[in-house]
C-alpha cells in the first residue's frame, strides 16, 4: 500500500478529485468531509501527509492546522493547505499557522501531485537525518533541538566525505 494521505475537504467534488488523483499516483487517500473529525481521524489513520482545505463550515482549516501543530503526536505530519482565496497575506497566514505546503484552487493537477511528493520527500529526509533518539536516553526534560522551520533538506553544507 502506498503512503497514507488524509484529505480534509468539505466540498464533495474536490474531495473526490483529490482522493482520485492521489490514488492514481499510488497513495492511500482517506477522505474526511467534516473538519470536526479531522484530528480524531488523523490519530486513527496515521497519515504521512494531510491535505487541508481552508474554507470549511464549523471549523476552518487554519484553526485545524493550529490544533494539529499543537498536538505532540500529530505535529510531525506535514500539512498541505489548499485554498480558493489567494488574497495577499493568505499564504503567510497559512504558513504561520504551521502548514508546510500551500496550493491554491483551482489546482493544477501537476502542481498538486508535485507538492505532495515534495512534502513527503522532505519529511522522509528529515526522518532519515534525525538520529533515533527514543533509546538514546536524552537527559530528562531536555528535548532534542528542533530544526529551524522551513529548512530545506539536503542543499548545501554537505558533510565532508568520511574518507
Binding footprint of Mn ion on the chain (CB under 5 A): 10-11, 53, 55-56
Q: With respect to Mn ion, which residue has the nearer C-beta, 8 or 74?
A: 8
Q: In whole angstroms, how close is the CB of 120 to Mn ion at the nearest point?
A: 23
The rounded distance, in Å, linking the Cα atoms of 118 and 145 is 24
The rounded distance, in Å, linking the Cα atoms of 156 and 80 is 25
Q: In whole angstroms, how close is the CB of 23 to Mn ion at the nearest point?
A: 20
Torsion of CA 120, 126, 132, 137, to 10 degrees: -120
Q: In whole angstroms, how close is the CB of 83 to Mn ion at the nearest point?
A: 8
Q: With respect to Mn ion, which residue has the nearer C-beta, 90 or 126?
A: 90
For residues 45 and 6, the answer to whether their CB atoms sit within 8 Å is: yes
Q: With respect to Mn ion, which residue has the nearer C-beta, 56 or 123?
A: 56
- Grid coordinates representing 9 are 475537504
Amino acid at each position: 500500500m502506498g503512503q497514507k494521505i488524509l484529505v480534509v475537504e468539505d466540498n464533495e467534488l474536490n474531495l473526490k478529485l483529490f482522493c482520485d488523483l492521489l490514488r492514481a499516483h499510488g497513495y492511500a487517500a482517506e477522505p474526511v468531509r467534516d473538519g470536526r473529525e479531522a484530528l480524531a481521524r488523523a490519530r486513527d489513520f496515521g497519515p504521512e501527509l494531510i491535505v487541508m482545505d481552508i474554507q470549511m463550515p464549523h471549523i476552518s482549516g487554519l484553526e485545524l492546522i493550529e490544533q494539529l501543530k499543537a498536538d505532540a503526536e500529530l505535529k510531525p505530519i506535514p500539512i498541505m493547505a489548499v485554498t480558493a482565496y489567494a488574497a495577499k497575506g493568505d499564504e503567510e497566514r497559512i504558513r504561520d499557522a504551521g502548514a508546510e505546503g500551500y496550493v491554491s484552487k483551482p489546482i493544477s493537477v501537476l502542481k498538486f501531485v508535485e507538492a505532495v511528493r515534495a512534502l513527503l520527500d522532505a519529511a522522509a529526509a528529515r526522518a532519515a537525518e534525525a538520529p533515533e533518539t527514543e533509546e538514546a536516553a536524552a537527559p530528562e526534560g531536555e528535548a532534542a533541538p528542533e530544526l529551524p522551520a522551513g529548512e530545506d533538506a539536503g542543499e548545501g553544507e554537505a558533510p565532508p566525505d568520511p574518507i
